[in-house]
Amino acid sequence: MMPTSPERNRMRFLLVLFSCTLISLACVVYPIYVIRPFRAQGANELATALLLARFRSVLTMLSALAALASLLGWYWPAQPRKLPRLFASLATAFVCLLAFVARVNVYELMFHPIGQPSFLRAQQAKIDPDDKVIAVSINGEAHAYPIRTMGYHHVVNDVVGSRAIVATY
């Protein structure tokens, strides 16, 4: 059987690299492009963006692995010259980087989550009397969420009166 030519393997790598870059970019960029503030979202594009967002960790990981495998399996043995090897490696590294970026929640970077919430007794809380709070009372337990705090964190996972709730603003 004839061995596959180096040129053919280089072409295979380029094809895989191109496809993987496109897929990974789509996974990372499209959801951020659609779901951003000060932009109206249509129902269909939102559904597509969310579908991509849900699977982008897996997709970008597979994409990175495919790019890496074809770099090492096809391109490296077929291309002895240093400079093309460098470019190919950088391009593959970019696809791998996208796999990390895909895991970043940019919204929580902008608005840090509060994690496990802590509370102060009403008499100890340093809130101005005319500042607004969202108030919840369940099974005799009362929690107040200052709006100035909620306007930043947006989401707080809490338990009030043994009921698990999410405070949103």
Partner 1 sequence: MWTREIDGLRLTFHLAGINNQNFLMRDEETGSYWQQITGLAVSGPLKGRQLTLVPSDELNFATWKSEQPQGSVLKDLSRYASEYERKDWDVQMKRVPVVISFPEHGMKARDLMLGIRAFGASRAFLYDQVLKEKLVQDHVGAEPVLLVVGDDNQSVRVFRDRIPGVDGAADFYRLSPPKPGALLMDASTGSEWNFQGCAVSGKAKGTCLERVQALKDYWFDWRNYNPQTTVWGKK
- Can residue 41 be called a binding residue for partner 1 (CB under 8 A)? yes
Of 10-18, 29-37, 71-79, 93-101, the segment contacting partner 1 by CB under 8 A is 29-37
- Give the nearest distance from C-beta 151 to partner 1 in angstroms: 4
With contacts defined by CB under 8 A, how many residues of the chain interact with partner 1? 64
Those residues whose C-beta lies under 8 Å from the C-beta of residue 151, and which sit 6 or more positions away, are 169
What is the b/e burial string over 38-77, where b = at least 16 CB atoms within 10 angstroms of the residue's CB? eeeeeeeeeeebeebbeebeebbbebbebbbebbeebbee
Please give the Cα distance from 142 to 152 (Å, whole number). Answer: 22
Q: Which two tokens stand for residue 154?
A: 């947006």
Residues 64-93 that bind partner 1 (CB under 8 A): none
27 lines the binding site for partner 1 (CB under 8 A): no
Q: Could you give the string, one character per residue 90-129, with x where binding to partner 1 holds by CB under 8 A and - elsewhere?
A: ---------------x-xx--xxxx--xxxxxxx-x-xxx
